[in-house]
Amino acid sequence: MVLTNSHRIDWLIGLTALSLGVALTLLATVAHSQKVRSDEEVARILAIEQLSMQEGGAVRGQVHNKSNRAVREVQLFIRYTWLWEDERNPGKTDPGTSTYHTLKETIQPGARINFTYKPSPPLPKISGGRFDTSVTIAGFTEIIP
């Protein structure tokens, strides 16, 4: 089989692209993504303390940094679960909701910071059940010197 100049150029371009792809794959640096930790590991680093619920769904509490490193961008997951009085015959709409709230402060090792979250608009005042509110640590950045 005789290759024409256009076939040779196409073959050369294809070989070059393949070689470049292999080289980039072999030379690529590893990107370090976020590290996922278990609930137990997170509990050894951060704790939510003195949690209280206020009128309209406001939540107050403290985050305690139990580690020996500073942390920042602590993200709280606040869940308002609606519990029906009659679970067998629930209403038409579930007013339960959830949100994330990020703390702006850096928490030094061993320190505690207070937080307050107020949903906007406030939780509805409706009959037929009640809200069960929970707050958990959803994420944070550990500062490693």
Phi, psi of 19 (to 5 degrees): -65, -40
CA 89 to chain centre: 34
Query: Using omega within 30 degrees of 0 as the cis cutoff, is the peptide bond preceding 121 cis?
Result: yes
What are 42-53's pLDDT values in tens digits? 889 999 999 999
What's the pLDDT tens digit per position in 21-30? 666 666 555 5
pLDDT at position 28 is 58
Q: What's the pLDDT band for 31 if we cut at 50, 70, 90?
A: very low
Specify the pLDDT at position 92. Answer: 82
Distance, CA of 95 to CA of 130 (rounded, Å): 10
Q: Which domains does the chain have, with CATH numbers?
A: 39-142 (2.60.40)
pTM score > 0.85 for this model?
A: no
